Amino acid sequence: MFCPETCLFVGTIPSWLQGTLLRNGPGLFSVGDTSYNHWFDGMSLIHSFTFKDGEVHYRSKFLKSETYKKNIAANRIVVTEFGTMAYPDPCKNIFSKAFTYLLNTIPNFTDNNLVNIIRYGEDYYAASEINFINQVNPSTLETVGRVNYRNHIALNLATAHPHYDEEGNTYNMGTSIMAMTGLKYVIFKVPATEKMPALKKLEQVCSIPARSNLYPSYFHSFGMTENYIIFVEQAFKLDIIRLATAYFRGETWGRCLNYDKDDVTLFHLIDRKTGKAVDTKFYGDAFVVFHHINAYEENGHVVFDLITFKDASLYDMFYMENMKKEIQEEGKTIPPPVSQRFVIPINADLKEVPGGTNLVKLQDTSATAVLQKDGSLFLTPDSLFEGLELPGINYKYNTKKHRYFYGSRMDWSPKITKVTKVDTVTRTYMEWTEKDCYPSEPVFVASPDAVDEDDGVILSSVVSLNPKKPPFMLVLDAKTFQEIARASINASVHLDLHGLFIHEKSQLKQPLEPTTYFTLNHSERLCLHLNH
């Protein structure tokens, strides 16, 4: 363990860039003699990059979740994760083992919140897709404590990708599996408040009955415009019976997800103010979606952009055994992600047009919404770009019409090799890449005097397989996509998943201080699983 202070950098960091980039992702893959089977199982390691007066300060700490504490205390993996099954200690007696199996009839989800950092009011939480979240101090990265959504609303699962409106309110969505009235998808709002904690003011916006109580749709994110919430009820589903019996059958939760390619995708449009869904049925062909890019309204249409896949093989790609070898072996291919635009006409008079009519009137898209005989609309998308995931935008354009989005581009394997900017108007793109470098999800930070949508910088944490090239924070001019600075980090840095940028005006009041940094040994670094 060591305590580095300021990162060494080349180039010039804009003087206006003041704040902290918080990132979250898996960082520890072995405990004692046990190891995780899936990259999404690794224990959460939070790290931060603080930009202050032209300098960059780095620190990282493991999330001290209950899962982390139990695993470290036992010196083995004792809590089941997405792709790794944990069994009773072989030294326990028969009664203890039987009790453990009984407890797992209804899964006791891990609180290893490794996906994202989210904000409710003035509080920040490490989050994944379960009912537990862990509050963290964004200055020191200390774990404050665990919170159970179920103390505030009846939820079993919740996304780690909420939306924030201009007033500072947070919107999120979850699944209520145990609802007495049937399985439901629940949308909720946490008002902006300085009172602690803001979650005590949580209010339900609406609930959407699932089309099946035994096979609810999996969802990782959702869309939002100024007036509507968009929920994609996809054909990638959670098998509730298999989930409830998974522990007895020695099956992980990840194996309880199934993709039905012969099903359809339903698109739900919910009024944000009334909480009522639009009566018209909107549907399309089956696909798998994890991330929404953005959504907005234009001339009586709701437009929403998604990253879609032809199947659910993405999760299989991140099993450790696949990450240690080339994923594209002979006879084994994985469909690339496709950025697609869907359009729903919301003001069309369905009674005045014949069946088979495309009701989309926007001129800048080939997306269609064709009227069916039963009054429903069948949606087909407009493809914008291929090969990009982990999308982001200038968040000032969230719920508004955007021109640009950013993301991680890859030769479709676990290896992210490029940071990309896509222009949805010209359908062109720019990219940054460097040999032996693997950049994280790009984060856009707008300049304070921005005029254009792309006035600002792109931040990305970069790791390398080259031992002579230390990890670094990359700073790009978002307009030209040229590198303007990089800050080298004298520590082991892990590839992460998601995070957020906290501007100086709203971040913690505590000054920077020396902090203990956690370094990962050779076998624990994710980058060493990438074809090394």
Q: Tens digits of per-residue pLDDT, 74-129?
A: 999 999 999 998 876 555 444 444 444 444 444 557 999 999 999 999 999 999 99
When mean pLDDT is compared across 87-91, 239-243, 347-351, the lowest value belongs to 87-91
Judge contact between 388 and 337, C-beta under 8 A: yes
Q: What is the 3-state secondary structure (H, E, C) of 179-217?
A: CCCCCEEEEEEECCCCCCCHHHHCEEEEEEECCCCCCCE
> How far from chain centre, in Å, is Cα 366?
28
Name the pairing type of β-strands 19-28 and 236-238: unpaired
pLDDT band, residue 490 (cuts 50/70/90): confident
pLDDT band, residue 335 (cuts 50/70/90): confident
Q: What is d(CA 43, CA 531) in angstroms, rounded to the nearest whole number?
A: 21
In DSSP notation, 235-293 reads: SEEE-HHHHHHHHHHT--GGGGEEE-TTSEEEEEEEETTT-PBPSS-EEEE--EEEEEE
> Which residues fall within 8 angstroms of residue 360, CB to CB, at 6 or more apart?
301, 343, 345, 367, 368, 369
Average pLDDT for 7-20: 89
Residue 132, both tokens: 């537990």
Select the more confidently predicted residue: 194 or 163.
163
Give the pLDDT of residue 90: 52
Of 128, 120, 204, give the one whose Cα is nearest residue 164: 120
Kindly list the distances between the CA atom of residue 11 and the CA atoms of 49, 416, 435, 487, in Å, as whole numbers in the listed order: 17, 24, 19, 9
Average pLDDT for 245-270: 90
Read off the pTM: 0.90
pLDDT band, residue 234 (cuts 50/70/90): very high
* 220 marked as binding residue: yes
Of 216, 116, 196, give the one whose Cα is nearest residue 156: 216
Q: What is d(CA 210, CA 326) in angstroms, rounded to the nearest whole number?
A: 38
Of 170, 183, 193, give the one whose Cα is nearest residue 117: 170
Average pLDDT for 51-62: 93
When mean pLDDT is compared across 238-252, 375-389, 440-454, the lowest value belongs to 238-252
Average pLDDT for 346-366: 92
Residue 99, both tokens: 């009790």
Residue 354, both tokens: 């014949």
The Cα angle at residue 243 between residues 74 and 265, in degrees rounded to 5:
130
> Which residues fall within 8 angstroms of residue 309, CB to CB, at 6 or more apart?
287, 288, 289, 290, 335, 337, 338
* 292 marked as binding residue: no
Q: Tens digits of per-residue pLDDT, 427-439?
A: 999 999 999 899 9
Q: What is d(CA 236, CA 134) in angstroms, rounded to the nearest whole number?
A: 27
* 498 marked as binding residue: yes
Q: Tens digits of per-residue pLDDT, 361-389?
A: 999 999 999 999 999 999 999 999 999 99
Of 41, 14, 123, give the one whose Cα is nearest residue 320: 41
Mean pLDDT for the chain? 87
Give the pLDDT of residue 502: 97
Residue 201, both tokens: 């003011």
Q: What are phi and psi of 248, to 5 degrees?
A: -65, -30
